[in-house]
């Protein structure tokens, strides 16, 4: 479930530095979230940090990128270069 930033974004600059995956960047008009880098902070925090600091609640789940917590964990591990434990049976 990568997140997206809606047009309600006021470009306040507080979300970008909070993202541990560097998934947030300034777009042409508002900030944007790279869905390939967004893990909703899975692996880092219990809650998405951008959502926590957003003063206008303009960061929502991207309906086009629905991912389970397991998929987000896998994405986090890939981004961090963490090998999966293949001993689980």
pLDDT of residue 85: 64
Backbone angles phi, psi at 11, to 5 degrees: 55, 45
| Domains delineated in the chain | 3-80 (3.30.70.20)
pLDDT of residue 88: 46
pLDDT of residue 89: 41
pLDDT of residue 75: 95
pLDDT of residue 83: 78
Q: Taken in order 20, 81, 46, 26, is the CA torsion positive or negative?
A: positive
Torsion angle in degrees (nearest 10) through CA of 88, 84, 72, 42: 100
What string of pLDDT tens digits covers the 89 residues of the chain?
789 999 999 999 999 999 999 999 999 999 999 999 999 999 999 999 999 999 999 999 999 999 999 999 999 999 999 877 654 44
Determine the Cα–Cα distance for residues 20 and 44; give it in Å rounded to an integer: 7
This prediction's pTM: 0.87
The CA–CA distances, whole Å, from 17 to 50, 67, 88 equal 9, 24, 36
């Amino acid at each position: 479930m990568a997140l997206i930033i809606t047009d309600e974004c006021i470009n306040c600059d507080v979300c970008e530095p909070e993202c541990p995956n560097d998934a947030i960047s300034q777009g042409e008009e508002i900030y944007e979230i790279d869905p390939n880098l967004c893990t909703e902070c899975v692996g880092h925090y219990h809650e998405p940090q951008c959502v926590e600091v957003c003063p206008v609640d303009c960061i929502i789940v991207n309906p086009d990128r629905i991912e389970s917590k397991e998929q987000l964990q896998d994405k986090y591990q890939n981004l961090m270069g963490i090998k999966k434990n293949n001993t689980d049976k």
